């Protein structure tokens, strides 16, 4: 009887080894700044990975995200209708140093969903499957992709969130990869925590578009409903958790009541304001100089005396509320004219600026235009607008660079933005753009001496039935793209209610991140390294670091090894300054 049992065990073991031989699985790792395509070959070594020792080596400051990627590779089945390899899961141990421990719940795993790009976004783009959406890993995953296809590589985004109070030192742990409960591989993880923390406050101004009306339409929710407000808060919380802020903060939009005498009464939600300005330390609140409520009900000709009295009353009441609350330095009025590009629009923008300055003295007036116009016959906005948000293409003009410095010398703020008509070699947020592009946006911001960056929308879904399936959500962007489709333009996050359908992971009530969003946040954290250096008296070192990576908006490094080496040098300099 024992002999029969032994023979059965031997047979089972033989069957298992044949199965593994027929379906070999390899596990490897790459830096976060890397887009793993489905057919990329496994790497034996790179800046974070050694296959020889099976070790992932990463480093970061306290209060910093330190991400990397683990890649599962296995050959696809021979036929399209065969079943994909499945049952994979990645887990971690605690990370332990000689004196401290980072618990494993500080290490988060996200499955990288691949989306099919049927055309390319730029000369360096490509068709085919690209990784982008990051679904929180809750269940075993497979190698299946859309349209009854398979990927040879499936990447998992791993985000180590270093606690702000972590002790400096080298922490080690292990990552286990299993399939249907059976071990596939075990990797060593080494994390060096530098002896300083990134500031809680973010010093880069960020205007990130997330609009309640578009979210309401996509989710089928009623405007002004409590359900919609709760969902929008989820999207805003997501931004704040990643060192970004909404462009037009809809939780802070005042209510405007029409009065019988033609005046208006402006009401504010004190609780929301206290939460976002005192609690979350919102850096800037952008309010329209001419909000929709006034536009809908305005019966007076623009810039008539009655018109100016009515709008001026609104502007004064807003200013008084911010001033009384101690938040006046964070208020900005936005021009009603977006990207003015005619003589009349320039003239009207100047009139709006005069009205704002007269009614709300000391409050900046923001225009989405460079300080230098495209046509001298239009006149100038300098001396009228305080804050400019400059189109990225304009940064190639020498006179704009000088004007930026001049405006900042007068106390103005300068931000810049990327849109559909900014072509390679300028950076963009396209799914099939180089991974370094989003990372370098804050570096370019520092290089020009600007204060921040703007992006028009990260959840623009009205022109697509499903952003998880179709990478082109902004169809009309084709009109300004010189013949390219724009994979991911206006869509840098994903609706979480479709996670299960496309990834097999649990749905998320709120947004799901993307590779591109995470890489932008990495660049923002780099900006904090630069800010720390400057605050410690090493502004020249910070400037030289940026100059080594960025010449201008069209000429900058996309070399990941170079960036990682520079991050290490910056960290070591900060450590030496804090001793």
| pLDDT tens track for 402-450 | 999 999 899 999 999 999 889 899 999 999 999 999 999 999 999 999 9
Contact of 108 with 175, CB cutoff 8 Å: no
Is pLDDT at 10 greater than 50 in this prediction? no
Which H, E and C letters describe 548-568, residue by residue?
HHEEECCEECCCHHHHHHHHH
Distance between CA atoms of residues 73 and 94, nearest Å: 25
Helix (H) or strand (E) run with residue 353 in it: helix 343-359
pLDDT by residue (tens digit) across 133-152?
Answer: 999 999 999 999 999 899 99
pLDDT-derived band of residue 297, with 50, 70 and 90 as boundaries?
confident
Beta strand 331-334 with 285-288 is parallel
| Whether residue 18 has pLDDT greater than 70 | no
Kind plus residue range of the DSSP H or E element containing 195: strand 182-197
The whole-number pLDDT of residue 405 equals 92
Going by pLDDT thresholds of 50, 70 and 90, the confidence category of residue 19 is very low
pTM of the model: 0.95
pLDDT confidence band for 22 (50 / 70 / 90): low
For 148-187, write each residue's pLDDT tens digit: 899 999 999 999 999 999 999 999 999 999 999 999 999 9
Distance in angstroms (rounded) separating the CA atoms of residues 393 and 371 = 13
Mean pLDDT value across residues 234-247: 98
pLDDT in tens, 59-105: 999 999 999 999 999 999 999 889 999 999 999 999 999 999 999 99
Q: pLDDT band at residue 298, thresholds of 50, 70 and 90?
A: confident
**Measured between alpha carbons, how far apart are the two ends of the chain, in Å?**
71
Query: 563, exposed or middle or buried, with CB in 10 Å at 0-12, 13-18, 19+?
Result: buried
Matching residue, tokens 């235009």: 369
What is the mean pLDDT of the segment spanning 371-384? Answer: 95
pLDDT value, residue 480: 85
* Token pair of 44 as six digits: 């034996």
Q: Sorting pLDDT into bands at 50, 70 and 90, what band is 1?
A: very low
Q: What does the pLDDT read at residue 13?
A: 37
Mean pLDDT computed over every residue of the chain? 94
How far is residue 402's CA from residue 141's CA, in Å, rounded to a whole number? 53
Tell me: the pLDDT tens digits for 397-413? Answer: 999 999 999 998 999 99
What does the block give as tokens for 351? 């009139």
Can you give the pLDDT at residue 14? 35
Q: What is the pLDDT of residue 4?
A: 40
Whether 318 shows a pLDDT value over 70: the answer reads: yes
Secondary element (H or E) of residue 177: strand 169-179
Q: What is the 3-state secondary structure (H, E, C) of 131-191?
A: EEEEEECCCCECCEECCCEECCEEEEEEEEECCCCCCCEEEEEEEEEEECCEEEEEEEEEE
CB of 216 closer than 8 Å to CB of 122 = no
Residue-wise pLDDT for 87-98, tens only, equals 999 999 999 999
């Amino acid at each position: 009887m024992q002999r029969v049992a032994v023979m059965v065990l031997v047979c089972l073991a033989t069957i298992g080894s044949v199965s593994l031989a027929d379906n070999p699985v390899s596990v490897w790792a790459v830096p976060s700044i890397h887009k793993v395509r489905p057919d990329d070959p496994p790497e034996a070594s790179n800046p974070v990975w050694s296959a020889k020792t099976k070790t992932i080596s990463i480093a970061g400051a306290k209060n910093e995200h330190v991400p990397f990627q683990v890649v599962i590779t296995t050959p696809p089945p021979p036929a399209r209708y065969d079943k994909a390899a499945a049952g994979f899961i990645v887990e971690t141990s605690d990370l332990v140093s000689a004196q401290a421990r980072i618990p494993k719940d500080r290490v988060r795993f996200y499955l990288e969903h691949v989306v099919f790009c049927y055309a390319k976004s730029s000369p360096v783009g490509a068709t085919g499957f690209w990784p982008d959406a990051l679904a929180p890993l809750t269940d075993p995953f497979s190698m299946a992709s859309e349209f009854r296809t398979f990927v040879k590589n499936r990447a998992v985004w791993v985000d180590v969130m270093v606690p702000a109070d972590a002790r400096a030192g080298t922490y080690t742990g292990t990552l286990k990869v299993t399939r249907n409960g059976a071990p596939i591989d075990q990797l060593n993880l080494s994390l060096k925590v530098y002896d300083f923390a990134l500031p809680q406050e973010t010093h880069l101004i960020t205007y990130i578009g997330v609009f309640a009306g578009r979210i309401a339409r996509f989710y089928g929710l009623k405007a002004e409903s409590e359900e919609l407000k709760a969902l929008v808060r989820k999207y805003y919380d997501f931004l704040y958790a990643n060192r970004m802020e909404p462009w037009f903060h809809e939780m802070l939009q005042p209510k405007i009541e029409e009065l019988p005498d033609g005046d208006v009464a402006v009401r504010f939600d004190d609780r929301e304001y206290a939460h976002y300005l005192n609690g979350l330390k919102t850096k800037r609140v952008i309010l329209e100089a001419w909000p929709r409520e006034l536009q809908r009900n305005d019966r007076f000709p623009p810039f008539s005396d009655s018109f100016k009295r009515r709008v001026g009353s609104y502007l004064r009441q807003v200013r008084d509320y911010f001033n009384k609350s101690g938040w006046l330095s964070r208020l900005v009025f936005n021009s009603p004219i977006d990207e003015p590009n005619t003589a009349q629009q320039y003239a009207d923008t100047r009139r709006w600026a005069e009205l704002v300055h007269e009614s709300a003295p000391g409050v900046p007036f923001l225009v989405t235009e460079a300080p230098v116009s495209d046509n001298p016959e239009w006149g100038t906005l300098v001396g009228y607008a305080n804050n400019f948000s400059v189109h990225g293409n304009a940064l190639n003009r020498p006179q704009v660079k000088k004007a930026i410095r001049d405006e900042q010398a007068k106390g103005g703020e300068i931000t810049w933005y990327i849109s559909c008509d900014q072509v390679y070699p300028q950076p963009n947020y396209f799914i099939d753009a180089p991974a370094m592009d989003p990372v370098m946006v804050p570096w370019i911001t520092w290089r020009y001496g600007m204060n921040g960056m703007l992006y028009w929308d990260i959840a623009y879904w009205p022109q697509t039935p499903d952003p998880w399936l179709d990478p082109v959500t902004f169809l009309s962007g084709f009109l300004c793209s010189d013949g390219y489709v724009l994979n991911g333009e206006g869509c840098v996050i994903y609706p979480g209610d479709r996670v299960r359908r496309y990834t097999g992971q649990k749905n998320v009530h709120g947004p799901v991140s993307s590779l591109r969003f995470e890489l932008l946040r990495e660049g923002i954290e780099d900006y904090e390294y630069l800010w720390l250096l400057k605050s410690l008296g090493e502004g020249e070192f910070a400037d030289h670091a940026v100059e080594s990576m960025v010449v201008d908006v069209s000429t900058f490094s996309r070399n990941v090894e170079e960036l990682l080496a520079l991050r290490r040098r910056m960290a070591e300099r900060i450590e030496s300054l804090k001793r």
